[in-house]
Each structure stands twice: as structure tokens, then as C-alpha cells.
A and B are shown apart, each in its own frame.
Chain A
Amino acid sequence: MSTTKASSEAPLEGGRRGLLRRRPVAGTPAAAARDRRRSKQRRRLANVAGLMAALVLTGVGYSAFAPGAIAADERSDSESIAVEAGRELYVLSCITCHGSNLQGVEDRGPSLIGVGSASVYFQVSTGRMPLVRQEAQAPEHPVMFTEAEIAQLMAYVQANGGGPTVPSGDLRDGELAEGGELFRLNCASCHNFVGEGGALSSGKRAPSLDGLTDAQIYAAMLTGPENMPVFGDNQLTPEEKRSVIDYVQTIQDQADPGGVPIGRAGPVAEGLVLWVAGVGALLFGIFWMGTKA
């Protein structure tokens, strides 16, 4: 603060001196006295004006610079508060498997150093973490933390090693058709054409994409949770990721023009409907006709 003030005053004084130096000096004593008086008055006036100007400028400068400085202080304060709160949550809920310094515990949980807040956001906000027990894959259960607490955990992990973060803004801002092509090429082999999900080996599975937020899909692509590969920005650019999200969310929300979608699960569901409802109804029909012998 003080340095800001000094720097704002310094050019002002220089300017006043320069103004005096440029004044012409008269010959006669009376004139000189008059001039001296005048110049004294002027100097006084100039002093007052300069002081006033300095005060105004200081005020303006203060109002311009000081709040920013205070806010910066508050941010770093709240960040450290969030990190601290995140650390407390971490110690309560995560430390058993991820270790006291996020370094991970063998056979329990991986290191969280460098995974970034995106990973924390995906794992915690979809209810995968904290894990109930070790399984083939973390099942989704009801989310354990509030949004504020998730943000604190994200801050804590981000503060210890950094890593990828989920961008803000509109995450569906992409090309719909291109997103479809990218989805079928990169995602459908595990998540199915329509994001219904699919089975992987030994009890692992690619989950359904139904009901996920844009940020969760983005975070999943960025961090590659569980068995999913990481789709870094050099594989799918942020624009392409937004296109994929646009496609996924569009077809999830889209109505089914053909009627009941039966899970959009394809021929297995169709076969089930055919045998249970179709053949069932027909057998009912011919039994009925049989009773009318």
C-alpha cells in the first residue's frame, strides 16, 4: 500500500518543480518584489492545488488499487481455508486408502499426487469415492459430500501436486454430428452406441452415461477413471470433448420416436419383449380360441 502511494506522488512533485523552473525572471526590484509576492502567492496556490491534486489522485489510486489487493489477500486466505477444510475431510474419509500424504497405500488406493481436481470431482461427485470396499470396480452410491465439501477436497488435492482441472463455461459448445462420430470411434466400444454402458472383463464395466453432468463427462475423459483410458487434450481437443459431450447429452435427452425405448438395449431387449409379450400374447390368443371349440 505504502509503495503504491509513494509512486503515485513522485511524478507529481517532479511535475511541479519543472513548472517553476520554466518561469521567466524579471529585471526591476519592484517588479522583482511584485514578482516575488506574486510568485509566493502562486507558489502557495500551487502548493494548495498540488496538495489537493495529490489527495485526489491518492484517493483515486487508493480506490483503484487497494480493493484488489485486499481481495487477493482474501482469496489466498479462502484458498488456504478450503485446502485446510479439504485436508480435514481427507483425513476423515480418504486417508485410509490414499495415505497421509496422498502418496497412496499399497493394495488399497493409488497416489493422488498429480491426479488433479478433475479426478477428485469425478470420483466424489458421482458417488464412487469414498469407496465402501475393494471390488472389481468402484460402484456408484449416493454422493457422500456436499458441493462445498467436494470443492474443498478438490482444492486440497489440487494444492498437493496439481493436475488436470475441469474448465468452466458451456461444455456442450461443440459440433453435434462430429461429436457423434468421435463418440462412436472412441467411446462406443465400451459405453455402447447410446451410452448405455457395457460389461468389461471380471466384473468391471463401462457405466451408463445416463444422468451425468457435462462436467463429470469432461472430467472422466480428462482423467480416465477406473478402466477408462485418458483422453488428454492431444487426443481429443477441448473442442472435441465439448462435441462429444454435446452428442452424449443430446441423445440422452432425445425422445424416442419409435415408442417405448426398452432401454435402447438393442436386440437382446427386443428378443425378450418378443418372447414375453409377443409370443405370450399370441399363446394367450390361441388358448382363448381353443376354449371356443
Chain B
Amino acid sequence: MATTTAAPGAPTTKIGQAALEFDDRLIVAGPLRRTLNKVFPDHWSFLLGEIALYCFVILLLSGTYLTFFFDATMQEVVYEGSYSPLRGVEMSAAYESTLGISFDVRGGLLIRQIHHWAALLFVAAIVVHLLRIFFTGAFRRPRETNWLIGVVLLVLALLMGVTGYTLPDDLLSGTGLRIISAIILSIPVIGTWAHWAVFNGDFVGTEIIGRFYIVHVLILPAIILALIAAHLLILVKQKHTQFPGAGRTEHNVVGNRLFPAFAGKATALLFIVFGLCAALGGLVQINPIWLWGPYNPAQVSAGSQPDWYIGFLDGSTRLFPAWDLNLPGDYTIPALFWPTVVGAGLMFTVLALYPMIERKLTGDTASHHLLQRPRDVPVRTSAGAMALTFYVVLWISGGNDVIAEKFDLSLNAMIWFGRIGCLVLPPFAYWLTYRLCIGLQRHDREVLEHGIETGVIRRLPSGEFIEVHQPLGPVDEHGHGQLAYGGASVPKKMNQVGGARRAIKGFFKPVEEPAEVQRQAELEARGLESEQSDRQSITSGRPSEGGRPSEGGRPQAPRD
């Protein structure tokens, strides 16, 4: 490698020579070139996972700052800080130092709030990313491993969140900790031992904050970091999936090179995510622990909820009937065991094994690098909608007391809405989504066969009125299109096939001269080459020649 860079022409500039010296020793030019030339397909939904990655970066940075001031012990102290409503109150050192971070450390409250908002966003981005992967079929062979890693990352992110919001040892998180303790105790046979192992004794003990701290700042971040690295390496190795479209096959990747296009976008997104977390952290108050008060097992507040990502477990616990299972011989399985340990266990197991389940059910063991549109796989899409509906009902039920209070509803009515809703709404969502998918599929086929509705009504000499349709490709003797559906989006409006004047570029204000755009449009209309033709594949008025509507107009068998 080193010889090949030196051979054709030695660099003349200072930087070039320095780079050569560097490369002579470390031999990075080749791999770096390959990396920078790596092609990433371009679609907005492929950026969702990146948001999670950047959130993790923010969490590492802000969390490191917080560790400088946080005291993770449960030693009893009397608060003498600057927040007067708590002065003189006994509390743990953990809570006192969190108050200190909030009121006495320069920038402490801002960093704490950025950290917390970024944590909420981290899990949200993972979930949205997971939904994208699921609904487009990106988990199919050969990407089952990365799906599995992703699900593990999701679970670790939840644990990260729980251990994190427990650390301040305030009344809200302490209530959550009490529930965690109860969940561990509810596990049959090993419950008590497991609880003693985690808490080093009965609730609450003197150890748990210190233990959660190490789990939160060392063990989990290390595992997450390693798994993210594996996730990305596998992604690079297997190459990114892409949506079907012109020139895109199972054997290529169409998109932008890592440098400069993709790197520019990624950097922009990094700054957007940083900016959003900073804006939320600076403008919107989150987890005001000074209002909650220090944890005291004798106290509990109305409206105590976990952070959003644990809300579904709170909801399932609220909805599940109080069915304690009393077994002969003085054994009891508490009702809490089913909606938490069993419920969450089942949900995450099914989620993790979904690629294998689908492979078993469909018998499709082939490798796939082209994504599927959700409508083209109605069963999976509907099953996903069903699961999502179930999740959302549990999630709403996790906050049902707040909803009941704010909207003047009966809490009992909310409980029964949740109980009935989590059984009735998912099948309904399945049916509805299935019908929507089929309807969308049929409409795609209809447009391919009859063309786009132009909105032009013509009266024939016979007096009959017809609506003029714009065919998307060559037609047979009956006027029916011969294009087969290729798994890509079908244009449904004349604008999408160049029926309208090209949109003037510019997001907030036009960055192009409208008159110039007009002139170009006229040139195009006369069949002359536009000066800027790099977008022709998308905006061309001749869909039969390489636009989105078809893959060169060649008939294909329907994919589904």
C-alpha cells in the first residue's frame, strides 16, 4: 500500500508529504479510501438509527460531567444547600448531591436536563428505528444478527434508563425502585434470593444506589458501546439495504459516498440532535427532583410514573387483574409476576425472535438487500400494527391516572378502557391495516394499468364523458399499461411525473430565481437538455425511461 501511494507521483505539498510520512508508518490510505468511498443509500428513514447513536454520544459527554459532582451513596445527611424548602431535611447523599448539581454546580441543571432529555430521546430513536427496520423487512436474512443486537440494545437502553433515573434517590424514583423490588420478589422460587442479591438485603438497604451507579456509568455503557460497534461493523460489512427503484438491485447499492455527501448529512444530523437536546434541556424542565422531595418509603405521591419507555410495564401492571395464584403448600405467585416479568419477557422474546418466526412461517430463506414497502407485505405490516396498538394501549394505561385527572374522566373507566382495549383494539388494528395495505396495493396496480388520473374530463362525440388518464408506460391495444409493479412507489399525481412546473428550491425562502426556473422549464419542454440534469431520473416527464415508475418498463411478475 505504502509503495503504491508513493509510486505514481510523490506529493509536493507540505500536507501531502506529512500524510505520506503518516501513511508510510500506519498504512491507512487504502482502508481509508475504501471507507470514504463507501456508498450509503439515501432515504430519510435511514437516518433514524443515527439519531440514537448521536443521543448516545450526548449521553456519554453529559453523563461524564455529572459524575464529577454526583455522590452515589445512601449515607444520611441533612441538607444545608441553597434550596430553602428542603433545608434541614434528612436525605441520602445521592439526593443531596443531585440537588447540588441542580442548584449549586455551574451549568449543572442544564447538563442534568440535557442528559435526561437525551436519554428519553435515545430510547425513542431506537424504537422508531426498530419500527422502520420491522416494517420494511430490513431484518430478513442476512441481517438477523443485527436485529438481535438491536433488540438487546433496546433492552439495555431501558435498563440504562431505569438505573439512571433511580440514581437521584428522590421520592419519584424511589417509588419506582420499590416497584422494581416488588417485581423481583414476585418471581417464583428465586424471587427472594434474587432480591437479596440485588439489594443486599431487604428493601431498600444501603447498597442499591451505589450498585445502580456502577451499572449505569460503567457496565451498561461499556456493553452498549461494544454492541453499537458490532452493530455498525455488521452494517458496514453487510452493506445497507435500499428501497427498490431505478437501477437498484439485490446486488448493488445506489446512493452517496460516505465522503463528502453522507458525512455532510451525518454531521448535520449530529448538530440537529445536539441542538434539539440542548434546546429541550435549556427550555423545558425535566424531572425537577427538588419538587419531588427525598425518598422516604413511608411516602408516595399521586401521579408517580416511570419515564415513558417503562410506561408500558406500568400500564400492564395497572390493567392486570389482582389474580394471586395460591398454590398448595403455602406458595403464592403474586399477580404482579404476570404483567411484568412474564409480559415483558414474552414481548421482548417475540420481538427478538421475529426474524426467525417470519422465516419459519413464510419459508423465505433467501438473502434480501432490497427493502419492502409495508403495503406489499400486509400480514407483517398488520401484525406490526397489532403489536404497536397493544403497546400503545398499555402505554396510555401507564399514565391513565394523569389522563383521568386532566381530562376529567373516571379512573375506573380508563382502567376498563385499557383492559378491553388491549384485547379488542389490536385485532381491529390488524384488520384495518390489512385492508389499507390491500387498498393501497390495488391502487398501485390500477394506476399502472390505467395511468394517472389527470383530472381532465373529455366529452366524446358520442356524448360520453371520460376522464383522461396519463399512462405511465407503453400501452396495449386496449389502452392498458404493461408495466409490472416493481416494489417501488408508483406516481399517483401528474406533478410526480413532471406535470407541474418544477418546484423552486429553497426551504424557508427561494434560493433560485423563479424566472430562471421558468426559462429552464421552457427549454426542457422544447426537448433541449437542461443545464442541470442530475435530477432527471426523478423529475423526468418520461416515466418510461428510467424514472421511478418502472424499472425500464420491463414487465415483471408481481412480487407478493
Contact = CB atoms under 8 A, between A and B. Distances in A.
Contacts of A278: 117, 120-121, 124, 276, 280
A108 B507 CA distance: 64
A271 B307 contact: yes
A292 B125 CA distance: 22
Which DSSP category, helix, strand, loop or mixed, fits chain A's interface? helix
B455 interface: no
Given A202-B411, A251-B291, A188 B124 contact: no
A258 B275 CA distance: 17
Interface stretch (B264-272, B332-340, B523-531): B264-272
A195 to B, nearest CB: 10
B438 interface: no
A100 to B, nearest CB: 34
B44 interface: yes
B408 to A, nearest CB: 8
A6 interface: no
A180 interface: yes
Interface string B302-338: 1111111001000000000000000000000000000
Interface string A183-225: 0110011111110111111110110000000000000000000
Interface stretch (B61-69, B81-89, B462-470): B81-89
Contacts of A251: 85, 291
Contacts of A201: 411-412
A211 B507 CA distance: 45
A259 B284 contact: yes
Given A257-B109, A268-B305, A184 B411 contact: no
Contacts of B307: 267, 270-271
Contacts of A177: 84-89
Contacts of B303: 192-193, 196, 198, 265-266, 268
B74 interface: no
B393 to A, nearest CB: 15
A185 B299 CA distance: 5
Interface stretch (B28-36, B138-146, B341-349, B396-404): B396-404
A150 B296 CA distance: 41
Contacts of B399: 267-268, 271
Contact of A176 (B85, B103, B304): B85
A69 B413 CA distance: 62
Interface string B393-428: 000000111111110011111000000000000000
B276 A256 contact: no
Contacts of B86: 177, 180
A262 B280 CA distance: 12
Nearest to A262: B284
Interface string A269-282: 11101110111011
Interface in B64-107: 84-89, 102-103
A279 B302 contact: no
Interface in B122-174: 124-125, 128, 171-172
A6 to B, nearest CB: 62
Which DSSP category, helix, strand, loop or mixed, fits chain B's interface? helix
Contacts of B120: 270-271, 274, 278
Contacts of B308: 267-268, 270-271, 274-275
A205 B299 contact: no
Contacts of B412: 201-203
Nearest to A139: B408
Given A205-B405, A271-B311, A278-B276, A181 B89 contact: yes
B285 A259 contact: yes
Contact of A281 (B172, B276, B304): B276
Nearest to B415: A201
Nearest to A196: B303
A270 B273 CA distance: 17
Given A180-B86, A247-B85, A267-B307, A188 B302 contact: yes
Contacts of A250: 85
Contact of A180 (B85, B113, B286, B409): B85
Contacts of B44: 286-287, 289-290
Residue among A193, A251, A254, A273 with the highest chain B CB neighbour number at 10 A: A193
Contacts, number: 196
Contacts of B48: 286
Contacts of B285: 256-262, 264
A181 B171 CA distance: 11
A287 B45 CA distance: 8
Contacts of A293: 42
A196 B87 CA distance: 23
A287 B280 CA distance: 20
A259 B284 CA distance: 5
A136 interface: yes
B301 interface: yes
Nearest to A271: B308
A198 B124 contact: no
A275 B311 CA distance: 13
Contacts of B172: 193, 266-267
Contacts of A281: 276
A285 B288 CA distance: 29
Nearest to B298: A185
B292 interface: yes
A192 B301 CA distance: 5
Given A199-B405, A270-B307, A275-B124, A286 B117 contact: no
Contact of A193 (B124, B286, B291, B405): B291
B283 interface: yes
A269 B269 CA distance: 26
A205 B103 CA distance: 34
B537 to A, nearest CB: 11
B448 interface: no
Contact of A199 (B124, B125, B288, B411): B411
Contacts of B47: 286, 289
Contacts of A279: 121, 124-125, 128
17 contacts: A177-B84, A190-B302, A192-B302, A193-B171, A193-B172, A193-B303, A197-B405, A251-B291, A264-B291, A266-B172, A267-B287, A268-B402, A273-B284, A275-B308, A278-B121, A289-B268, A290-B43
Given A270-B120, A282-B125, 14 more contacts: A177-B85, A185-B296, A188-B293, A193-B172, A197-B302, A202-B411, A258-B109, A259-B284, A259-B285, A261-B288, A266-B304, A273-B284, A278-B117, A285-B272
Q: Which 4 A-B pairs have the closest CB atoms?
A: A198-B302, A258-B285, A271-B308, A290-B44
Interface of B: 42-45, 47-48, 51, 84-89, 102-103, 109, 113, 117, 120-121, 124-125, 128, 171-172, 265, 268-269, 272-273, 276, 280, 282-288, 291-293, 296, 298-308, 311, 399-406, 409-413, 507
